[in-house]
Amino acid sequence: MHGSSALLIELGIVLAALATLGALARRFGYSPVPLYLLAGLALGPGGIAPVPAAGAFVTTGASIGVILLLLTLGLEFTVGEFTASARRHVPSACVDFALNAAPGAVAGWLLGLGWIGALAMGGITWVSSSGIVARLLEDLRRLANRETPAVLSVLVLEDVAMAAFLPLLAVLAAGGAWWQAALSVAAAVGALSLAFAATHRLGGPLARIVDTDDPELLLLRVLSLTLLVAGITELMQASAAVGAFLVGLALTGQVADRTRRVVAPLRDLFAAVFFLAIGLAINPRDIVPVLPAVLALAAVTAATKVVTGWYAAARDGAARRGRLRAGTVLIARGEFSLVIASLLATAQPGQLSAFAAAYVIVLAVVGPLATRLADRVPAPRPAAATRAESGGRASG
């Protein structure tokens, strides 16, 4: 089949599958994310209906999807609001690291991956998926919830930490010296600090530059600015998602409202492609041999993420159900875990990649289901009502 014809036919099949699965999920009131991930498994290498011609498009579309998801999250807050929340949640980030990196590091040591492999495993179990969490918050209409700023603070602080962790791991995995790793980390942290400072100082001018009543021009301006900033951020060894989030923070007021409306359809399309891409990157045959160990580690680190979210939401005064929602929404791991595994693919071919792939797909499916079920947990009854009811029974 001709290359362009194969691409068009496979993309048509992929989009039809996503549309069908999305409609099915909406019919039962669930997030379509787990279904998109499983569809990726079915359509990827080793699946029941591989789509090799669509692979390059899906890979590129996935990068755009996570960027648009984080852009729209940033639009929900101002720089001042987020900065205050992030500062308040530095202790939450420390709890997050301690609870979630340690199980992975121990598992890496038990699996005989060496100290660099153990370091990588710690990163794989530590960082939640910004893309999956962003979509869940949107699907479940939780952007205005009391616990959401705490969730976003933990996510972005994780992504900021990845700006230091990924260069460090890359240099060590390549056999570099400690001073080379230190220089790489310093360059990435410096670049990210400059990006935050620029967002704080240039937010007003940026909003005026992109502002227009024409939806088409607004979309083109915002999209070009977001992709440029995300690309430059990634070039500086930081996360492209953080760059997109910073652009969203810089746009406020009516500009942010109009941007949300024009970006939403494009975000939904590429977000679906992003979730599909996670599944496409995983061969189902690689999952089976490591599944027992993966399920054990997934159970432990799902619980530690719930504790992390509970602690962070409690710092913002969220109620018990809000704390549970915050914890369950952070369970999903995704893009960063796969990137970390890819950094060691040459040094440890097959071992870490298969484990990370299985781990990501398990928690990327379990996380959305768990956070959906968290809404069904009965809210605690107010103490005053309980006392009144008890008094009524006693008097009766």
Tens of pLDDT, residue by residue, the chain (396 residues): 556 788 888 889 889 989 999 898 888 777 788 888 888 888 887 778 788 888 888 888 888 988 898 888 888 777 777 778 888 899 999 999 999 999 999 999 998 888 888 999 999 999 998 888 988 888 888 888 999 999 989 998 898 788 788 888 878 877 777 777 777 777 777 777 777 777 767 667 777 888 888 999 999 999 999 999 888 878 776 677 778 888 888 888 888 889 999 999 998 899 888 888 888 877 888 788 889 999 999 999 999 999 999 999 999 999 999 999 999 999 999 878 888 887 776 555 556 778 888 898 899 889 988 998 887 766 655 544 444 444 544 444
Contact 171, 237 (CB under 8 A): no
Among candidate residues 365, 340, 335, 363, the one with its CA nearest the CA of residue 353: 340
CA dist 131 and 278 (Å) reads 11
As given in the structure block, the two tokens for residue 210 are: 């992109």
CA dist 380 and 297 (Å) reads 31
Question: Where in the chain are the domains?
Answer: 3-376
Q: Provide the 10 A C-beta neighbour count for residue 29.
A: 9
As given in the structure block, the two tokens for residue 364 are: 């990327």
Among candidate residues 320, 303, 281, the one with its CA nearest the CA of residue 367: 303
CA dist 394 and 396 (Å) reads 5
Among candidate residues 200, 196, 225, the one with its CA nearest the CA of residue 210: 225
- On whether the 3-376 domain is CATH 1.20.1530.20, my answer is yes
DSSP per-residue string spanning 339-357:
HHHHHTTTTSTTHHHHHHH
Angstrom CA distances, 65 to 70, 159, 263, stand at: 9, 16, 11
CA quadruple 225, 227, 230, 235: dihedral, nearest 10: -110
Rg (CA), the chain: 22
> What is residue 54's DSSP assignment?
G
Contact 129, 335 (CB under 8 A): yes
